[in-house]
Amino acid sequence: MINSKLPNVGTTIFTVMSKMAADYNAINLSQGFPDFEVSEKLISLVNKHMKKGVNQYAPMAGVVSLREIIAEKTENLYSRKYNPESEITITAGGTQALYTAITAVVRDGDEVIVFEPSYDSYVPAIELNGGRPIFIQLKMPDYRIDWNEVQKAVNSRTRMIIINTPHNPTGSILTAHDMEKLSKITTGSKIIVLSDEVYEHIIFDGYEHQSIARFPKLAERSFIVSSFGKTFHATGWKVGYCCAPAPLMAEFRKVHQFLVFAVNTPVQHAIADYLKDESTYLGLKQFYQEKRNFFINLFKGSNFNIKPSSGTYFQLLDYSKITKEKEVAFAERMTKEYGVASIPVSVFYHKSFDNKVLRFCFAKSNETLEKAAERLVKL
């Protein structure tokens, strides 16, 4: 028998709920992917570069033109200069970048602070590298970080703190005040910050994304991960990137080259061209805010409690007035009986923590959202 390195890990909830949606012919608002098309212009650019013959391995760190325009974009948005030669690497999606960053710096016995509910790839990556996750719960009802609790958790074994803003699954965001608190805690230490910013362009209600890149003391000790799949409605392309100061990026690339080596070449060239038009990503917040508003307005007068998401393309719905069922059981019953699949937020905690809250993806056509809401408001 195999002695599993991840004995407590099974099939991800995203796979489970998407399969249930297919099995019961339910509307899938569980897994975070759009049901609308990628830009025709972007697809044409991919086709153009394929026909030009750029179909072989890209440079290990990524196509130079893409790294250069990422550097330009990051400086324009966050006033931080990253050297495209030594401080930016193109990755096979955000999850690969997260795994690579953790693998690059976490050793046996190191502690890594993780805020719950947390994206499900963090903890397995920590454990596979011999690290120990230290869990801190975000504070209800706004899913905020208690920085006094973080300060108490930090010790000589703390190697990394992982943050995620805008936050999946809750849709909350970190503020400049949060970043200042994090900076104060980590300054003078050996702690590395891993900042998951894959939803950086999906933020609402006039808020600005507080990237780690905006804060010099934090940026000098941080990996920043982002994703073109989220930004350009192309999650299946699995193209993302990581920015970090040169010493950290050197360690990152040592792992990256043996994990994937290189990423889809024609898609990299196409994205480099597409990014020249800033509206392709700067207009995203308005597009998704309209989606969010449309979705939550469909639930006016329903028995769900709703606090509008501040970012991402996810919305939490509190069903505590509808039933006392646990989240997993209710999500499964809702898929089978009402034909709408969602994600129970309780699965994003290492121990059961049931708040009667489900996560719904609103990166869908208005028609899809209307059909889903029509079924759910009956509850």
79: left (phi over 0), alpha (psi -120 to 50) or beta: left
- The SS3 call for residue 27 is strand
Residue 348 inside a domain? The answer is yes
* Same domain for 274 and 287: no
Which of these three, 264, 280, 296, is where a domain ends?
Answer: 280
Q: Check whether residue 137 and residue 242 sit in a common domain.
A: yes
One domain, residues 274 and 341: no
Domain boundary among 280, 310, 330: 280
d(CA 328, CA 344): 6
Measure Cα distances from 334 to 26, 255, 326, 358 in Å: 9, 42, 12, 11
pLDDT at 10: 81
Residues 248 and 298 occupy one common structural domain:
no
Nearest 5°: CA angle at 153, between 182 and 127? 95
- Both 174 and 289 in a single domain? no
Are 167 and 265 part of one and the same domain? yes
What pLDDT sits at residue 299? 96
Cα-flanking dihedrals φ and ψ of residue 303, to 5°? -90, 5
pLDDT tens across 54-98, in order? Answer: 999 999 999 999 999 999 999 999 999 999 999 999 999 999 999
pLDDT at 9: 84
Question: Which residue segment(s) compose the domain that 140 sits in?
Answer: 40-280
For residue 202, the model assigns a pLDDT of 98
Sites in the chain below the pLDDT cut of 70: none
State whether 199 and 61 are in the same domain.
Answer: yes
Q: Identify whether 8 is part of a domain.
A: no
What's the pTM value of the predicted model, to 2 decimals?
0.97
Looking at 246, 280, 314, the residue that finishes a domain is 280
- Helix (H/G/I), strand (E/B), else coil: 12: coil
One domain, residues 150 and 269: yes
Q: Can you give the CATH number for the domain in which 343 is found?
A: 3.90.1150.10
Tokens 């994703």 sit on residue = 227
With respect to residue 67, please indicate whether it lies within any of the assigned structural domains: yes
Q: How large is the angle between the packed helices 246-259 and 94-105, nearest 10 degrees?
A: 110
Strands 192-196 and 222-227, by their bridges, are parallel
Model confidence over 230-284: pLDDT tens digits?
A: 999 999 999 999 999 999 999 999 999 999 999 999 999 999 999 999 999 999 9
**Residues in CB range of 145: below 8 A, 6 or more apart:** 115, 136, 138, 139, 174, 178, 181
Residue 5: inside a domain: no
Supply the CATH number for residue 170's domain: 3.40.640.10
- The count of domains in the chain is 2
Residue at 4 is within a domain: no
Q: Specify the pLDDT at position 14.
A: 87
Predicted local distance difference test score (pLDDT) of residue 13: 87
